[in-house]
Amino acid sequence: MIADLRKIWTLFPPTERRKAVGMLLLVMLMALADTVGVLSIMPFLSVLGRPAVIQENALLHALYQQLGFHQPRGFIFALGLASIALVVLSSAFKTVTLHVLNRFVHFQRHSLSARLLSRYLHQPYEFFLAINPSILSRNVLSEVDQTVLGLIQPLSQLVAQGAIVLAMAVLIFVYDPLTALVLVAVLGVLYGSIYGLVRKRLARIGHERQSANGQRYQACNEALAGIKDVKITHSAAAYQDKFNNASRQYSRHMATSETLAQSPLYLVEATGYSMLIVIALSLLAKSNDVAHVLPALGLYGFAAYRMLPAAQIMYRGFAKLRFTSAALNTLHHDLSLPQEAPPPSAPPLVPKNEIRLQGIRYAYPGADDKPVFNDFDLVIPANTSVGISGRSGAGKSTLMDLLLGLLRPERGTLSVDGVTIDASNIAAWQRAIGYVPQHIYLADASVVQNIAFGVEPADIDMAAVERAARAAQIHDFIVGELTQGYETHVGDRGVRLSGGQCQRIGIARALYRNPPVLLFDEATSALDTDTESAVAEALGNLSGEITVVAIAHKRSSLERCEYVIKLEQRQ
């Protein structure tokens, strides 16, 4: 448990830690205010039960005289009103503290998910090859919520209520040490034994909840992203079942954890109520004077009224810590992933002579004994066009990713004019590249935003967009057939466009920045022969000015290339 608490502490950056300490102090003050409120009922009940106390108690007597009272009745009224005022003030203070606490807790949701997303986005490309994106979405959106609402919130309440329980226990201890010890011991044993009984189960269902949550996200994402295949193969029911099973298990475990966290309340309430009656009877047995017993009973009653729910909330915090430890471990681990320093901003690294891959060995993670490339060399002369062909699976896309600097070879180097590409200059190299992937990703935005991808709308250079669209043979279609021209929305992943239209927007995107290096991975495979020739001709006009590397299955697509390399088989 200490280890878990330490993990939570490490989730907070230093500024948040300072706020957490401030929160802690505020919570202590809240407990103090609560104690004062409870304490204020004592003199009122004492004087109400036996007005003679005013003469016997020095403090009350002094107060009585100082305030100029002549009748106990008026003094009782004043004590009652003062007690009301203190309780109201302490409640108001508690409301404000609660709001500050809630703000802190909910802000953690933003802070944690933003930091987690940033951590993921700064992982090397290979990280994403090994993990399902649904799991990453689940962590950023749902597991953070689970940790904040299911753990940090109950824990902050645990601290707040712990301070209240402590304050009440001290109050009763000062008044009657034995009763205080018995009360704390009974509560401790009661909650301790229930916790001992349920902690293993809570941890187990916590793990199962997390995995069911991942399956829920995955089933939903896969079914909606692959809706065409789902329709054609009539697999909606299978996906629905997959989702339902995971979702049902998720809900069941959430419900069980709530029940396990809440159920002791009734047992503890019954015990507290019984204890109150036992205390009343034993007090009465000691002194037959009800007036004498009344203030003590008032104190115990009010203290129990505060203490029991507080003890229950504390228990809930511990139970939640168990249930949510799986989510906590995930966040703790992923937020500690090493993060690359942001690359220095440098001008594009434009090749003047050559791009060279030398002595490359590359194997995908988990396939170490089956390298796609081993001792592979390739020289691409600058400002020429190089075509790469080869059978499916020969490693063409892997070669592209190595040239892009997305995959890092285990051995060998990528260099531009003799400068080795490494972490210090990778961004400069990538800035020189326009890349058209095999599968174009179109965002659910306008055509213009998809061409000037990632550029703030206000900064988009419309002349460059149009020039790129013309070269990609898509300008006429955009202005002639799309209802809102460049402002037309293309739908999620370009569902409102044909495959060839999507591909041409992808080509225009690569050309928008006028890159000195163009990398095409099957970039014209969805185009008809005439359009493909037109695109090739437009690119041909740039011949001698830029370096083009194109991958294609069809040899005909590479006819205009100055050099063609055939990747035969794995080396």
Ligand X SMILES: Nc1ncnc2c1ncn2[C@@H]1O[C@H](COP(=O)(O)OP(=O)(O)OP(=O)(O)O)[C@@H](O)[C@H]1O
Q: Which stretch binds ligand X (CB under 6 A): 150-158, 393-401, 476-484, 502-510?
A: 393-401
Q: Which string of x and - marks every residue 122-161 that binds ligand X (by CB under 6 A)?
A: -------x--------------------------------
For residues 361 and 374, the answer to whether their CB atoms sit within 8 Å is: yes
Which strands make up the sheet holding 547-551, listed edge to edge?
A: 433-436, 517-521, 547-551, 385-390, 563-567
Query: Taking CB under 6 A as the criterion, which residues in 59-78 touch ligand X?
Result: none
Q: Considering beta carbons, is residue 66 or 392 the nearer one to ligand X?
A: 392
Nearer to ligand X, 367 or 458 (CB): 367
Note whether 402 binds ligand X by CB under 6 A. Answer: no
Comparing CB distances to ligand X, the nearer of 76 and 394 is 394
Tokens 């505020």: give the residue.
Answer: 26
CB of 126 to ligand X, least distance (A): 8
Residues 114, 144 contacting (CB under 8 angstroms): no
Nearer to ligand X, 372 or 478 (CB): 372
Cβ proximity to ligand X: between 143 and 522 the closer is: 522
**Closest CB to ligand X among 136 and 372?**
372
- List all residues 6 or more positions away from 116 whose beta carbon is below 8 Å from its beta carbon: 139, 140, 144, 331, 334, 335
Does residue 398 touch ligand X according to CB under 6 A?
A: yes
d(CA 71, CA 74): 6
> Least CB distance from residue 129 to ligand X, whole Å?
4
CA distance 327 to 143: 6
Q: Does the protein bind ligand X through residue 390 (CB under 6 A)? A: yes
320 token code pair: 């939640």
Shortest Å distance, C-beta 401 to ligand X: 8
Interface residue with ligand X, options 322, 396, 431, 509 (CB under 6 A):
396
| Closest C-alpha to 423, from 519, 339, 514, 513 | 339
Give the helix, strand, coil percentages of the chain, each rounded to 5: 65, 10, 25
Asked whether the beta carbons of 16 and 108 are under 8 A apart, the reply is: yes
Pair 219, 137: CB distance under 8 Å? no
Which residue stretch of 176-184, 373-381, 395-403, 556-564 sits at the interface with ligand X (rule: CB under 6 A)? 395-403
Cβ proximity to ligand X: between 144 and 552 the closer is 552
| 199 touches 322 (CB < 8 A) | yes
Nearer to ligand X, 299 or 548 (CB): 548
Q: Which C-beta is closer to ligand X: that of 138 or that of 396?
A: 396
Burial class (CB in 10 A: 0-12, 13-18, 19+), 457: exposed
Sign of CA dihedral 224, 227, 233, 234: positive
Q: x/- binding map, residues 354-373, to ligand X, per CB under 6 A?
A: ----------x--x----x-
Q: Does 374 bind ligand X (CB under 6 A)?
A: no
CB of 502 to ligand X, least distance (A): 18
The footprint of ligand X on this chain (CB under 6 A) covers a number of residues equal to: 12
Structure tokens, 21: 């300490």
Which listed range, 10-18, 39-47, 229-237, 385-393, lies at the site for ligand X (CB under 6 A)?
Answer: 385-393
Task: Report if residue 453 touches ligand X, rule: CB under 6 A.
Answer: no
- List the one residue from 57, 384, 397, 525 that touches ligand X (CB under 6 A): 397
Q: Exactly one of 135, 172, 394, 404 binds ligand X (CB under 6 A); which one?
A: 394
Task: Kindly give, in sequence order, each residue whose CB lies less than 8 Å from that of residue 115, ignoring residues fewer than 6 positions away.
Answer: 13, 335
- Cα(167)–Cα(173) distance, rounded to whole angstroms? 10
By CB under 6 A, name the binding residues for ligand X: 129, 364, 367, 372, 390, 392-398
